[in-house]
Amino acid sequence: MNRAEQLNALALLRLLSAVPLSERQRQVLDLRSQGLSYGAVGRHLQISGERVRQIEARLRTIARRLSEDPF
């Protein structure tokens, strides 16, 4: 994971900090924000790197909706 990806993961973590997430979603966010690649997170959580990518993509969709919704 490069520095820009790590910063994006950190920003996502901060943005979603007040949103109720599943334990798995929180784990993925935490590990990605530490700089781990999809594959490394997957190995740590015993899931595929592709599944990690899918979870993160879903989290980005949630974050995008939050940023568009003025409440």
Q: Which domains does the chain have, with CATH numbers?
A: 3-68 (1.10.10)
End-to-end Cα distance, the chain: 34
**pTM (predicted TM-score):** 0.81
> For residue 69, what pLDDT is reported?
65
Q: Specify the residue for token string 């901060």.
A: 14
pLDDT mean over 13-26: 89
> For residue 27, what pLDDT is reported?
96
Nearest to 9 by CA among 1, 44, 23: 1
- Residue 4 tokens, joined: 């820009």
pLDDT at 58 over 60: yes
